């Protein structure tokens, strides 16, 4: 895991230095999705119909994009909960996200 983190930091730092004329606050977006866990979800009560389907939804705010748009950094808020059954637990999280696109048309 540490090797992957160091590799990511190297890629990001080289890209930011090469594209110092990037842009700030390019976009904000909302997202939502459905996950089906292989095992029963720890978020759902297990005694109901569908205790594997969980939802994720949230907001993303871009903070910086490199000039070539391959590297982006931003902040996000995510909410996870059950879809069809009662929540045993749900959680909300705020985090920081780094994205590097290896391929783009």
Residue 19: its pLDDT value, please? 47
**Residue 15 neighbours by CB under 8 Å, 6+ apart:** 66, 70, 71, 100
Q: So where are the chain's domains?
A: 2-100
Entry pTM: 0.67
Task: Supply the pLDDT for residue 58.
Answer: 95
Mean pLDDT by 10 residues, the chain (105 residues): 61 56 92 88 75 88 91 93 82 91 83
Q: Note the pLDDT of residue 21.
A: 84
| Spatial distance between the Cα atoms of 36 and 53, rounded to a whole number of angstroms | 5
φ, ψ of residue 9 in degrees (nearest 5): -65, -40
What's residue 47's pLDDT?
67
């Amino acid at each position: 895991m540490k090797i992957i983190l160091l590799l990511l930091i190297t890629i990001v730092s080289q890209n930011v230095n090469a594209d110092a004329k990037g842009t700030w606050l390019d976009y904000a977006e909302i997202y939502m999705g459905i996950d089906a866990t292989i095992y029963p979800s720890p978020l759902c009560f297990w005694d109901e119909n569908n205790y594997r389907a969980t939802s994720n939804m949230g907001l993303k705010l871009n903070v910086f994009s490199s000039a070539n748009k391959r590297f982006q950094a931003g902040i996000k808020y995510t909410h996870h909960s059950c879809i069809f059954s009662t929540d045993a637990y749900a959680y909300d999280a705020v985090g920081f996200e780094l994205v590097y696109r290896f391929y783009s048309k």
